[in-house]
Homo-oligomer: A and B are copies of this chain.
Amino acid sequence: MAKGAAMIGPRMATMLAFLLTDAPIGYEQLHLVLSEAVEHSFNCLSVEGHTSTNDTVLILSSGAGREPALDGADLAAFAVAVVSACESLAQMMADDGEGATHFITIDVEGCDSREEARTIARSIADSALVKTAIHGADPNWGRIVSAAGYAGVPFAEEEVSLWINETCVYRKGAPTEFDTAWLSANLRANRDVHLRLTLERGGGKIRFWTCDLTAEYVRLNADYTT
């Protein structure tokens, strides 16, 4: 179970998530499993990048005291299940972002480290210009590549390639000759958008989720007084 919608830029955010299990697993291992799951799910999520003051992810096990406790292959399978549940919740929160008309998955690959990939992905996800371009079904490679460029990770243009919904729009530092009208129609027709940006330096990669920025988001956040 998770509550999201906005003020979402978890490290964490105004995000309340509760996971329940009856697995026989104690505090220390449950903490390790959940920390790893959060790292691959809630911390790969942004609605508008505004980190909140009261994020919470809890996992409760009714089987905590039961013997024998999970170990070996069972513990590994449990950890995979928790990662999967958290990823699913994080994806639903981005998809449910205030006013969203597109759910955006961002893969950043080929970086020196996972943190480097996250920094680039977050910069793309938090760009109002990227988010409005996708809202407008505009396959605007310039806004995406420039958001990667100002993320704070030094790289050369020639290292960068970019795909929008599996169409390569930018290859090794230069735009390709893609069919913009077709890709725009594709973006307009699909709620799900996939951005994939690659560098060419290593195995560091991340999958990150966000949504587009719409007039409805502005209305929802301007038209009430707290």
Contact = CB atoms under 8 A, between A and B. Distances in A.
Copies in the complex: 2
A133 to B, nearest CB: 7
Nearest to A213: B218
A31 B213 CA distance: 40
A168 to B, nearest CB: 18
B53 A128 contact: no
Nearest to A134: B222
A105 interface: no
B221 A128 contact: yes
B136 A224 contact: yes
Nearest to A48: B128
Interface string A122-142: 000011110011011111101
Contact of A218 (B6, B48, B135): B135
A11 B150 contact: yes
A210 B141 CA distance: 26
A143 B50 contact: yes
Contacts of A142: 53, 226
A146 interface: yes
Interface in A128-165: 128-129, 132-133, 135-140, 142-143, 146-147, 149-150
A184 B215 CA distance: 22
Interface string A194-226: 000000000000000000011101110111111
A217 B128 CA distance: 10
A187 to B, nearest CB: 10
A43 to B, nearest CB: 14
A219 to B, nearest CB: 6
A97 to B, nearest CB: 11
